[in-house]
A and B are shown apart, each in its own frame.
Chain A
Amino acid sequence: MKRLKTLFALGTGLLCCGWAVADDALPQRWISSGGALSEWVVLLGGEERLVGVDSTSQHPPSLRELPSVGYQRQLAAEGMLALRPDLLLGSEEMGPPPVLEQLVRAGVQVEVLSSRADLASLQASVLRIGELLGRPQQARAALADYRQRLQQQAQWVAQAQAQQEQEAPGVLLLLGHAGGNPLAGGRDTAADWLIEQAGGRNLAQHTSYKALSSEALLALDPQVLIIADRSLSGEQAREALLRHNPALAATRAVREGRLILLDPTLLVGGLGPRLPDGLAALSAAFYPASHSTLAQARPTP
């Protein structure tokens, strides 16, 4: 048994050496900006290379311990250089452009990846991160897994709709702060994309996130309400929303108790690795009578 352990340790050690040799030419000190991109870096095993993240990189919570380089559109050249990075990874939102130029001149590799919410962009981004980490296979595997889960998700929704002979439920997503002044996610938002993918029908017809009046909320009469609250979670978020917007009590969603909570960080920065779980939870709430287990949330690897 002891021998086996030694052998195992030796093997691991050798493997690590192998990595180290292969890694030499790769960037070692990373700054990542953009929530979803940072999550992918961590998922592909690059967390120990991160020396700084932007303010939208909040997941996993361990990233909050790292030095923050501020908001991704307002990066500071010298502040980042103080972290001695080899690589700055970020989305097309990253800026301002003169700062990126200054970093390039200082010898920092600046990688701009797309954070658009479609699978082709996601594939390019994740493969590139894998390449930069020296782990292309892991990236491919993670992508394949991701695609598969989204596919299963779509099948599950189709199945659930067929089984229950039910139309897509009318949904509103309310993004709020401790229940006050909720903004409804309209077209061209991540909220809209999530609702559609989860098999719902977004009732909000405006673009981006806008406030709706109590009357408008009542008139839309959503069957399901998704609450994404930035400061409260759980039962508190539900209570706060209803307390500040008493008109909601008359909607079908509240009468039937169909208020779903969603982590608001899922809505920023493109498609992240936690998305399939979030979608699965939404779908399960949209079609409660369906007992298919495909979309059961499973722990993120």
Chain B
Amino acid sequence: MNPLIKPRALFVALGLLLALALWLSLALGPVSLPLADTLRAALRLLGLPLAGEGLAQTELILGQIRLPRTLLGLLVGAVLALCGVAMQGLFRNPLADPGLIGVSSGAALGAAIAIVGGAALGGLPPAFAPYLLSACAFAGGLVVTSLVYRLGRRDGETHVATMLLAGIALTALAGAAIGLFTYLADDATLRTLTFWNLGSLNGASYPRLWPLLLVTAAVALWLPRRAKALNALLLGESEARHLGFAVERIKAELVFCTALGVGAAVAAAGMIGFIGLVVPHLVRLLVGPDHRVLLPASALAGASLLLLADLAARLVLAPAELPIGIVTALIGAPFFLYLLLRGRT
């Protein structure tokens, strides 16, 4: 398959797209700020010594509301897309999605435990209470994924097909447990749970960004080092082994990276679907399956797409906002169908 675009052209285009998405995400919102003010406030936030009178409100909205939210969107979009590439490479299937190894359902189960159990406990120390949900979601993702990985291992080898089936089984099991918690929840907790499952970048703040920043940086630095191995895996596991790659180790690393990355993203922003599935696929259509290009390009595209989806989420119903999971699903589901139907003709 010949790529439609040369890698260099793609990187230029995606870089421009991301810059545009970043700027729109900072410049647009329910509060309409004059462009000149936005520019001046942005430059002041960068540390330029400009006159700041009359900019207090603009700086606050830009610095405390839009900037953390934009950074959150950037990180979540990038890490979800990277993990999507890792999963599609591992399963050698373009329709694979980070949810397959149970990280999403595990995180959802952790969140359900935190929301319903936290409401029942009630008396948590106030310093810890806001982080309970994130911590439980992250831990839930890791635990279920490590279980799936264990179940897929036999005689020192990881069987990808077994792991896939184990992922499906554990997802169903987690679904049942979530259902049980849903049944036990009262009305208010139920709505919190529902909204969490739809994802949102709302209420982003700097302290909550740090863990995600660390994880995303680690994943974004680590996965590209495994690009050649991922390329070799496309040929098949034994071929990759004969080419001299430590296949078992690579598989473990890919699963670990995905559990970490998706877990952190879900912990910070709730469940946001389809980015990890659609973005790698889209990029592969444009530029071909070489992971050395696919990984960084997907990160750029994922970040741009999520920022644009978030822009829609906060503008469409302003002053209220739409959960972002609805927007990404609205874009992602038709695209998925298109991929399925395209193969038929």
**Which A positions have Cβ atoms within 8 angstroms of B?**
52, 55, 67-71, 73-83, 93, 96-99, 101-102, 105-106, 188, 207-210
Residues of B within 8 A of A208 (CB): 185-187
Q: Are B208 and A98 in contact (CB under 8 A)?
A: yes
Q: Are B195 and A71 in contact (CB under 8 A)?
A: yes
Residues of A within 8 A of B57 (CB): 106
The closest CB in chain A to the CB of B192 belongs to: A73
Interface status of B48 (Cβ within 8 A of chain A): no
A55 and B60 alpha carbons, distance in the complex (Å) = 27
Interface status of B231 (Cβ within 8 A of chain A): no
Q: Are A76 and B30 in contact (CB under 8 A)?
A: yes
* B171-227, CB < 8 A from A: 183, 185-188, 191-192, 195, 200, 202-205, 208
Q: Are A96 and B31 in contact (CB under 8 A)?
A: no
Number of B residues, CB within 8 Å of A: 32
Interface status of B251 (Cβ within 8 A of chain A): no
Q: Are A76 and B314 in contact (CB under 8 A)?
A: yes
Q: Are A102 and B65 in contact (CB under 8 A)?
A: yes
Q: Are A68 and B319 in contact (CB under 8 A)?
A: yes
Q: Are B203 and A79 in contact (CB under 8 A)?
A: no
Q: Are B200 and A74 in contact (CB under 8 A)?
A: yes
Q: Are A82 and B30 in contact (CB under 8 A)?
A: yes
Q: Are A81 and B61 in contact (CB under 8 A)?
A: yes
Q: Are A69 and B320 in contact (CB under 8 A)?
A: yes
Q: Are B187 and A78 in contact (CB under 8 A)?
A: no
Interface status of B94 (Cβ within 8 A of chain A): no
Partner of A55, one of B29, B64, B320, B323: B320
Q: Are A81 and B320 in contact (CB under 8 A)?
A: no
Residues of B within 8 A of A98 (CB): 130, 203-205, 208
Residues of A within 8 A of B130 (CB): 97-98
Q: Are B318 and A79 in contact (CB under 8 A)?
A: yes
Write the nearest CB–CB distance from A126 to chain B, whole angstroms.
22
The closest CB in chain B to the CB of A77 belongs to: B65
Interface status of B291 (Cβ within 8 A of chain A): no
Given contacts A76-B202, A79-B314, A98-B204, 17 further A-B contacts (CB under 8 A): A52-B319, A68-B317, A69-B319, A71-B191, A73-B195, A74-B323, A76-B318, A77-B65, A78-B30, A78-B31, A81-B30, A82-B32, A96-B203, A101-B205, A207-B186, A208-B187, A209-B186
Interface status of B66 (Cβ within 8 A of chain A): yes
Interface status of B321 (Cβ within 8 A of chain A): yes
Residues of A within 8 A of B30 (CB): 76, 78-79, 81-82
A55-B320, A68-B320 known; A77 vs B202 contact (CB < 8 Å): yes
Q: Are B64 and A105 in contact (CB under 8 A)?
A: yes
The closest CB in chain A to the CB of B321 belongs to: A76
Q: Are A209 and B191 in contact (CB under 8 A)?
A: no
Residues of A within 8 A of B183 (CB): 210
Residues of A within 8 A of B205 (CB): 98, 101-102
